[in-house]
Chains A and B, each alone.
Chain A
Amino acid sequence: MILYLLRRLAVTALILLVICAATFAIFYLMPADPAQGACGKACSPERLAGIRATLGLDRSPFAQFGDYLGGILSGRTYGTGAQAVPCPFPCLGFSFQTNRPVWEMLTARLPVSVSIAAGAAVLWLAVGVAAGVVSALRRGSLWDRAAMTAALGGVSLPVYFTALVLQYLLVVRLNVLPYPTAVPLTEDPAGWAQSMVMPWITLAMLYAGVYARVTRSEMLESLGQNYVRTARAKGLAEVTVVRRHALRPALMPIVTIFGMDLGALLGGALITESVFGLPGVGKLAADAIAGADQPVILGVTLVAACFVVLANLVVDLVYAVLDPRVRAVA
């Protein structure tokens, strides 16, 4: 188990390094000069050269990449002397447009993204899995057909469309919710929930459909297995058969997609946050893209990739704990 863990950690680190290099390469290929962006409109050639030197843009791409990696691991300082700009560990770059380290900007936005992702995840997991189980048990019934039609509809809904419809209906027409604003959970739990309800529903409609479909087909598969027939034949209560023998194996693929989906969402629900104007990591990315603030885009990409890769790692570990065969194969 320890060996397996170590090997998986090494692979994870390697993947992150490759992602980091790929992202960096894309930005290196960018025709837009980051120094030009940081310099602003009234920009003299001397000042531009100064900024290039401060950012280390006059060095070779490999040296720059080395600087970047070094910054992540131990922090770095841009420039020297009186103009030195410190960027403490873990330095994901420095946004000269906002004059703040990227890490600081990211961590300030993270609570909003986590609130959106966590709430939506609870909602879609509960609704999706429950609907899928009931559908599988009452296969072909009216409920099954209605639930699966709704699931297909949910899967096909573009999030920005759902978001706009919800906002139009609930805020403008029915006036039952306020415009979403970022309210910290610790200050005003009710206000927090109120502002998060629409993003939660928006995302949950999409994902619950996926989960209901997967749960249903996995449940149907496991319900057809011989061990379920055995469990029934030896006289176990139907509830026990469904919960212990049919649902448990059906949940394994759910764990996989749940890890990936949650990981992706923690890195910012780009579109949802943009539509509702909630200042999460996704909105930060969208704004940085609009303003061509490259250090921020690079940082967000890296952190988002980190979440996905780490979620995959956690999923693999959960698998290894649940199923010893995985350890043996790996």
Chain B
Amino acid sequence: MTVLRKLLAQRSAALALTAVALLVLTALAAPLITWLAGSSPTAFHGEAVDPALGGLPRGTAGGISAAHWLGVEPVNGRDVLARVVYGARVSLLIAVLATALSVTLGTALGLLAGFLGGWTDTVIGRLMDLLLSFPSLIFMIALISAAPGADRRLLLVVVLGFFGWPYVGRIVRGQAMVLARGEFVAAARVLGASRRTLLLREVLPNLTGPVLVVATMSIPACIATEAGLSFLGVGVQPPTPSWGQMIATAVPWYAADPAYFLIPGALLFVTVLAFNVLGDAVRDTLDPRSRPR
């Protein structure tokens, strides 16, 4: 817990941590928040939009009112607050699960490659090189559109995790290579420790720091990519809301109803920024080589 205390001692990191905690809380409490605000993410509100203006929300700034705190969507009048809050749930869940997948895969394979060396290293190393040179965005789109029936959220987790692991694996491999030559490993080997014990008991615990750093950096990347894919129409499918998808539906309305893209866009920006600041702070705290600014 010393890491947490060190993080909280830095103003920017403490701020970022607060923002992330608030976001997680919002996502968890989504049903409570919508109940308090008296709205639902899927209910249509025809009375809140003006059919004479092509379905533009009535009132100022995208129809912000006592009934709809952040306004409503054009045309069908769904409540923006409810959709944003439920969208946070979807985005965070996908990003966290995808990161868990890529970190697990990357750590396991990177550890094996770096520790065992030889042909294991060659095969895994080449595989990572190959995946890193893939145009991953187009590839993700191709993969996702190749399975129209599947659950998009699950598919997103798998695809993001699969294309994310080489970034983790590359770092873990490098660290494991150095650690494998460490004296403590040699000592354990002399004491008769099995290869399994060496890997799991001696090398793996020393990788916690770098893995924690890449995991913190991977979450904002996953959020941004998920939003990007949803924006391109191959992410989360309506009526399930997602921030990227909301911005995509706001594109035709950007001139007439700017609030509609500004709200999810600003939230996405703040979220990714908070995670990035946090990732930087975690790295500065854990990596003695990078001095905190």
Given contacts A26-B143, A156-B276, A160-B247, contact A289 B269 (CB under 8 A): no
Q: List chain B positions with a Cβ less than 8 A from chain A.
A: 129-130, 133-135, 137-139, 141-143, 145-149, 220, 224, 227-228, 231-234, 244, 247-248, 250-251, 254-255, 258, 261-262, 265-266, 268-269, 272-273, 276-277, 280, 290, 293
Contact A274 B290 (CB under 8 A): no
| Closest A-B pairs by Cβ, 6 of them | A161-B265, A156-B273, A304-B135, A156-B272, A30-B146, A172-B255
Taking A30-B145, A31-B149 as known contacts, 10 extra A-B pairs with beta carbons closer than 8 A to each other, sorted by chain A number, are A29-B146, A148-B293, A158-B268, A160-B244, A167-B254, A217-B290, A264-B135, A267-B135, A297-B145, A301-B139
Closest beta carbon of chain B to A37's beta carbon, Å? 12
Contact B265 A158 (CB under 8 A): yes
- Main SS of chain A's interface residues? helix
Question: How far, in angstroms, from A309 to B129 measured CA to CA in the complex?
Answer: 10
Question: How far, in angstroms, from A30 to B141 measured CA to CA in the complex?
Answer: 12
Closest beta carbon of chain A to B222's beta carbon, Å? 13
Given contacts A270-B137, A301-B135, A301-B138, contact A160 B231 (CB under 8 A): yes
The reply to whether the CB of A262 lies closer than 8 angstroms to some CB of chain B is: no
- Main SS of chain B's interface residues? helix
Contact B265 A165 (CB under 8 A): yes
Using a CB-CB cutoff of 8 Å, which residues 149-172 of chain A contact chain B? Answer: 152-153, 155-161, 164-165, 167-168, 172
Name the contact of A161 in the complex, choosing from B134, B147, B233, B261 (C-beta under 8 A): B261
Closest to A305 in B: B135
Residues of chain B lying within 8 A (CB to CB) of residue A274: 232
Residues of chain A lying within 8 A (CB to CB) of residue B277: 152
Contact B135 A286 (CB under 8 A): no
Given contacts A30-B146, A300-B138, contact A289 B276 (CB under 8 A): no
Given contacts A19-B134, A26-B146, A167-B254, contact A160 B228 (CB under 8 A): yes
Question: How far, in angstroms, from A307 to B151 measured CA to CA in the complex?
Answer: 32
Given contacts A15-B130, A19-B134, contact A161 B142 (CB under 8 A): no
CB-defined interface of A105-130 with B at 8 Å, one 1/0 digit per residue?
00000000000000000000000000
The reply to whether the CB of A140 lies closer than 8 angstroms to some CB of chain B is: yes
Contact A27 B142 (CB under 8 A): yes
